[in-house]
Amino acid sequence: MKGAGEKLSAGVLIGKTVSESEEAAGGCGKGERERGLPAGGEIAGAPEEMAAFFERRLEIYEEHQLREIQGAFEFYERTAELLPAQAGARILDLGCGTGLELKFYYARNPGARVTCIDLSEKMLEALQKKFSKYKPRIVCGDYFKTDLGEKDFDAAVSVESMHHFTYAEKVPLYRKIRAALRGEGRFVLTDYQEDDDAAERAGFAAKERKLAEYGLKDGGFYHIDTPLTVKHELQALREAGFSHAEECGRWNKTSILLAKR
């Protein structure tokens, strides 16, 4: 996922544990660029379980993200720029996949102490192999069920991971992410957003039809896109208790949202 119930302190870990850090980073510069994204519509074939979906596509995943999505280099880099720059900053990366955002972030802040959470063990193994010298802490698990702790991180980040969930599911998750931040902590959410309310509703209706067609229960982790609008995403962040939430950049259907604790 670019998303088992483990605590960070006692989870299924791959790699080494990180330690304490310092405070959060600066502001959000507004920017807007184009990103080509294939049109949505009905989902072809049976829904795939989330981790299995990405593991089957591991060999082409990074090329697809960076080459097939126009503007991806720009929004991954911009995401990294919004994370704390101070050495030793503690970062929580939710649904990290193979860590495409970390390539840009470690280039800016090699001393950062990053905790990575994802459902796919194979993607996490690829991440660890790429970034072993930075010693990220890696947890294979579900970020909805993992105990993220309280006031442990200077920032949290998630890229192209959370567009599979409902508003009602996101609010308590965002509340948990906020609780894990300390001081002037921030959450940088870079994700697929729908254009309007009608398209948002159509996405969830398509998901319901597909689950019913294959006799699957809602609540499981299936790779079905159900993005919210930017308006609803910002509303969910504010309802979760973030003091400020704004859109910092837009690439067609991908937005970067910045929420301050």
d(CA 119, CA 135): 19
Task: Yes or no: say if 8 and 148 are a contact pair by the CB < 8 Å rule.
Answer: yes
User: What is the per-residue pLDDT for 217?
Assistant: 77
Task: Yes or no: say if 78 and 31 are a contact pair by the CB < 8 Å rule.
Answer: yes
d(CA 100, CA 76): 7
Q: Give the residue ranges of the chain where pLDDT is below 50.
A: 2-7, 9-25, 30-41
User: What is the per-residue pLDDT for 29?
Assistant: 60
* pLDDT, tens digit (0-9, with 9 covering 90-100), for 77-108: 999 999 999 999 999 999 999 999 999 999 99
Quote the CATH superfamily of domain 8-18+47-260: Vaccinia Virus protein VP39 (3.40.50.150)
Q: Where are the domains of the chain?
A: 8-18+47-260
Task: Yes or no: say if 249 and 81 are a contact pair by the CB < 8 Å rule.
Answer: no
User: What is the per-residue pLDDT for 3?
Assistant: 43
Q: Tokens 């605590």 sit at which residue? A: 7
d(CA 208, CA 175): 26
d(CA 245, CA 117): 23
User: What is the per-residue pLDDT for 65?
Assistant: 83
